[in-house]
Amino acid sequence: MGLKNHARNFSLAAVRDLLAQPLHVAAFVVLIVAAMEIGRFHLLAVFEHRLSDFFVRTHAAGLEPDPDIVIIDVDEKSLARMQDAAGKWPWPRAIHAELLLGIEPQQPRAVVFDLLFAEEDVFNRDSDRAFNLALQGRKNVYLPMQRLDSQGDAKGVPLAEIAAILGIEATPSAQRDARIQLLPPQAIDVGQWRHTGIINFNQDADGVGRRYWLAMPAYGWRLPSLPARVADDLGFPVPDEQDIILHWRGFARSFQHISYSDVYEDVGRKLRTRPPDEFKDKIVIVGTTATGLGDRRVTPISNVYPGVEILATAVDNLKNQRWMRRAPDYVPMALAATLIVLLFGAFRVRRNVQETGVALGLVSAGLLGASYAALSIRLLLPVLVPLLFGWAYYLFAALLAYLREKRTREQAVRLFSRFLDPNVVKRIVDQGETIESLSGRTCPISILFSDIRGFTTLSETRPPQEIVQLLNRYFSRQVEVVFRHGGTLDKFIGDCIMAFWGAPLEDPLHAEHAVAAALEMERVLKAFKAELGEAGREFDVGIGIHSGTAVVGFIGAEQKLDYTAIGDAVNLASRIEGLTKEARSRILVSRDTMEACHNSFEFVSRGSYQVKGRAQQVELFEPRLKSA
């Protein structure tokens, strides 16, 4: 039991540790929000739709509609030319009867009217009778009806009473007492209503029609659409779905359009001029495209797409079994999760933010290309919303990385400013160096030790506060010299200064710069002694320099880090400084330092000395500026 509790406590602690990190929290939150958006809310669907519509419109431009679907078009030309024969729109139904009788001998597979005959013509009943006579016995003529607003269904007709007449199917959940408001073709004999179907515009939440009803649901009943009725009667399989996503073919007017007036005038001639088999085995759709008749809808192809062509597209899709399919919700969710996990991994291992952004851009381009390519297999692949979540996480993580880098730079500036000239600090930080990157390096450097002599005598004659002020003034001047020559201030050891050249920035002339700094430190010392007057008579320094390889980096505890050099070369430089008094020279350098200066200075040999920790004696030299 104790082991189980321990394991549970460990797991909770691990989760708390993970959630305490902003990068983890952001990934978790973005994944949850993405799941809710893709699976339920669809608040960003409008952006996905806009991109999908653009792809669909571009893809449709290269597609041809079925040539066996022909539209007899009540266009502007027909309205003008039929003025004498038919008058103003809507025309008497006898006109449609004449058209129907004129084209039926050509044996079209179906004649589909996209015109509502919802009311009897009380002023011209003979015209309605003529149309009904033309329809008698014809099983290949189809008429539309409309489902009205459901808010008025209580005043409608009982569904159970009209279901058989209109071919409405009952599902197991059908409400037998349900009522519905419909606009059936009431000008047509009821016997012909079996060949009807709804033509309601099926629009998404943004008002764009991308789908067509196959069977509109109503209280557990299924109202067949006009294209579904036609396809089923002609033997084309109709999927058992409420609707289909339309596979658009070309732009508006891509289907073959024949002006209504051209056909009507030809059927009235004794000698016809149009082809006698123009409509043989065709699916003929009679509809309107005239602007003034208002049958225009918003679709992915156009904001004023003719309604008759939407119907024609649905018939085309069912006839050729080529409607679109939409990838299930788990596909965009999987894409979003994959993007976020990959980005999380990249930022966790601290990959370059710019490189990660470029990689995400390439992935985005690839997914967008895949989304467009998927249209060739009639698949709508939503990728924009996953990409939006991926980019959202990237921007947040990039901001975190920027803040972390800014904090690191500020920390580096604070630390480096203790040891380096501000200009050198800027160069180091601009190169992206950090505490970690500058630690543990082995490199050639020149190390300088400068120790004050006579300090004890001076401190005995002055108050402590004055001594501290004096030392601070002296050290400040000497540190300026170190920085001016590009050196790194390592530390103060009591009244001793330790500095080195060659790190953190590489310096091929580190020995020359160290010696030049030592000579200037000597000049600064003399000026300082002059300021002290008689009190500074015994104030002096010894400076030792050695060039060699050392390990350089930040060493210490988290609370206090020092940028320092360690190794045998450092120890030798310290011991050389200790020999300056014995050799009666302010400045001594090793042979290694002298040779590394490449004759930039004059060197006077001060003999060889035994140094602790070395079997062989060390030859020392005093540097001087070259005489003019």
- With beta carbons less than 8 A apart as the criterion, state whether 343 and 290 touch: no
Bridge partners of 259?
73
Q: Summarize pLDDT for 150-209 with one digit per residue, the tens.
A: 999 999 999 999 999 999 999 999 999 999 999 999 999 998 898 999 999 999 999 999
Lowest mean pLDDT among 284-293, 331-340, 349-358, 512-521: 349-358
**How far is the C-alpha of 589 from the C-alpha of 587, rounded, in Å?**
7
| 5/525: higher pLDDT | 525
DSSP 6-66: HHHHHHHHHHHHHHTSHHHHHHHHHHHHHHHIIIII-TTHHHHHHHHHHHHHHHHTT----
Q: Which residue has the higher pLDDT, 55 or 22?
A: 55
SS3 call for 247: coil
Cβ contacts of residue 614 below 8 Å, gap of 6+?
A: 572
Confidence of residue 10 (pLDDT cuts 50, 70, 90): very low
pLDDT at 9 over 80: no
Average pLDDT over residues 308-322: 98
3-state secondary structure of 72: strand
Cβ atoms of 438 and 553 closer than 8 Å: yes
pLDDT surpasses 80 at 410: no
Q: β-strands 69-74, 179-180: how paired?
A: unpaired
CATH of the structural domain 417-624, one choice from 3.40.50.2300, 3.40.630.10, 3.10.310.10, 3.30.70.1230 = 3.30.70.1230
How far apart, in whole angstroms, are the C-alpha atoms of residue 575 and residue 237?
99
Helix H or strand E segment including 493: strand 488-493
Query: For residue 2, is pLDDT > 60?
Result: no
Cβ neighbours of residue 30 closer than 8 Å, sequence gap 6 or more: 340, 389, 392, 393, 396
Distance from C-alpha of 260 to C-alpha of 79, rounded to nearest angstrom = 9
Rounded to 10°, the helix 353-373/45-60 angle is 50
Among residues 487, 478, 597, the alpha carbon closest in space to that of 552 is found at 487
Structural contact between residues 409 and 430, judged by C-beta atoms closer than 8 angstroms: no
Q: What is the mean pLDDT of residues 39-55?
A: 94
For residues 264 and 98, give the distance between their C-alpha atoms in angstroms, rounded to a whole number. Answer: 8
The partner residues of 284 in beta bridges, in order of sequence, read 70, 111
How many residues in total does the chain contain?
A: 628
Q: How far apart are CA 420 and CA 482, in angstroms?
A: 9
What pLDDT, on the 0 to 100 scale, is given for residue 313? 98
Q: What is residue 259's predicted lDDT score, i.e. its pLDDT? A: 97
pLDDT at position 18 is 44
Per-residue pLDDT, averaged over 378-404, amounts to 93
Q: Helix, strand or coil for residue 569?
A: helix
Map residue 420 onto helix, strand or coil: coil
Question: What pLDDT, on a 0 to 100 scale, did the predictor assign at position 108?
Answer: 97
Q: Are 455 and 526 in contact (CB under 8 A)?
A: no
Cis upstream peptide for 504 (omega within 30°): yes
Between 9 and 591, name the one with better pLDDT. Answer: 591
Instruction: Give the pLDDT of residue 470.
Output: 85
Mean pLDDT of the residues in the chain: 90
pLDDT above 90: residue 622? yes
Question: CA 562 from chain center: how many Å?
Answer: 43
What's the pLDDT tens digit per position in 113-156? 999 999 998 889 999 999 999 999 899 999 999 999 999 999 99
Q: Which amino acid is residue 413, in one-letter code?
A: V
Q: Going by DSSP bridges, is the β-strand pair 305-306/325-326 parallel, antiparallel, or unpaired? A: unpaired
Which of 498, 465, 476, 482 minimizes the C-alpha distance to 564?
Answer: 498
Residue 455 vs residues 8, 460, 498, 545: alpha-carbon distances, Å: 65, 9, 17, 21
User: b vs e for 499-530, b when ≥16 Cβ sit within 10 Å of the residue's Cβ?
Assistant: bbbbbbbebebbbbbbbbbbbbbbebbeebbe
- Return the ∠ at Cα 272 (arms to 266 and 275), rounded to 5°: 95
- pLDDT of 493 reads 86
Quick one: DSSP state of residue 313?
H
Is the pLDDT score of 4 beyond 70? no
Q: Would you give the distance in Å from CA 540 to the centre of its chain?
A: 67
According to DSSP, residue 225 is labeled B
Closest CA to 131 of 91, 100, 105, 97: 97
From the number of C-beta atoms within 10 Å of its C-beta (0-12, 13-18, 19+), residue 323 rates as buried
Confidence category of residue 401, pLDDT binned at 50, 70, 90? confident
Among 20-34, 126-140, 282-296, 345-359, the minimum mean pLDDT is found in 20-34
Both tokens assigned to 297 = 């809808």
Global pTM reads: 0.74
**CATH 3.30.70.1230-classified regions of the chain:** 417-624
User: Rounded CA gap, 200 and 458, in Å?
Assistant: 105
With tokens 């203790």, the residue in question is 418
Cβ-contact 215, 228 below 8 angstroms: yes
pLDDT attached to residue 478: 93
pLDDT of residue 435 exceeding 70, the answer is no
Q: State whether residue 571 is helix, strand or coil.
A: helix
C-alpha 185/C-alpha 116 separation (Å) is 7
Q: Which of 10-19, 326-335, 399-408, 552-561 has the lowest mean pLDDT?
A: 10-19
pLDDT of res. 373: 97
Handedness of CA 255, 261, 267, 273 (dihedral sign): negative
Confidence (pLDDT) at 6? 47
What pLDDT does residue 43 have?
A: 92
- Taking only the tens place, the pLDDT of each residue in 548-591 is 999 998 887 766 777 889 999 999 999 999 999 888 899 999 99
Four-point Cα dihedral 263, 268, 271, 275, nearest 10? 20
> CB of 608 within 8 A of CB of 616?
no
Q: What is the rounded distance in angstroms from the CA atom of residue 113 to the CA atom of residue 116?
A: 8
- For tokens 């996209």, the residue is 114
Alpha helices in 256-329 (DSSP H): 260-267, 307-320
Provide the token pair at 181.
């408001």
Position 16 scores a pLDDT of 45
